[in-house]
Amino acid sequence: MGVLLVFLAIISTAGTKLPWYVAPAWPPIALVLGIGLAAFAERLKEKWGAKGMIAAALAFALLYMGPYSRKIHEVAHPRHENPWEAPQLDYGTFMEFMKDYRKYYLFQKGYNAALRFYEKAWRRRGYDVTRIYDVRPLRTGDLLMTCDERALDLLEKHGKRWTQIGHWRGCRMLRIE
């Protein structure tokens, strides 16, 4: 317990506070909590028997229901802290929606590590997916997937016409005409 408190004091006084700094403390914290809960359960059993144990279990379940359901909601509906994160990560979901299309180009202006990952992953699944950085080489019949709003302006600028064949959030699948 003392080692845990010293560790937490050290990382609490650090100038930089990143969430993963506390990771080494989680196993001892879990151990201390587990021992405390086991002792609490023994006392409860001695004092109130099985009915007291069931009442305590229900009380704990109700107590943790709110935070647990909030965490489930956060995982199911992620909120991105940086405005550029959401469109970068939306490609994966949109690619799954459009999985019937086996060959298309991906466009995102600028750096997008997530898009590079999706390109490689879908190629491994047998799709002909290619990242492009310029819309000018696109020809009639080509399919273009983008979650970048600037793509439409670039297509217009270079005289490309398109038909939208799918969309989700800010993502689009376009057929070049």
pTM of the complete model: 0.56
Cα atoms in the 13 Å half-sphere on the side-chain side of 60 = 9
Which strands sit side by side in the sheet containing 162-168, from one edge to the other?
Answer: 128-132, 103-107, 143-146, 171-176, 162-168
Going from N- to C-terminal start, the domains of the chain cover: 2-76, 85-176
Q: What is the token pair recorded at 67? A: 């935070």
Return per-residue pLDDT of the chain as tens, 177 residues. 788 888 888 888 888 778 888 888 889 899 999 999 899 888 888 888 888 888 888 988 888 888 888 888 888 776 656 655 666 778 888 999 999 999 999 998 888 888 899 999 999 999 999 999 999 999 999 999 999 888 999 999 999 999 999 999 889 999 999
Nearest-angstrom CA–CA distance, 92 and 116: 11
Nearest-angstrom CA–CA distance, 18 and 11: 9
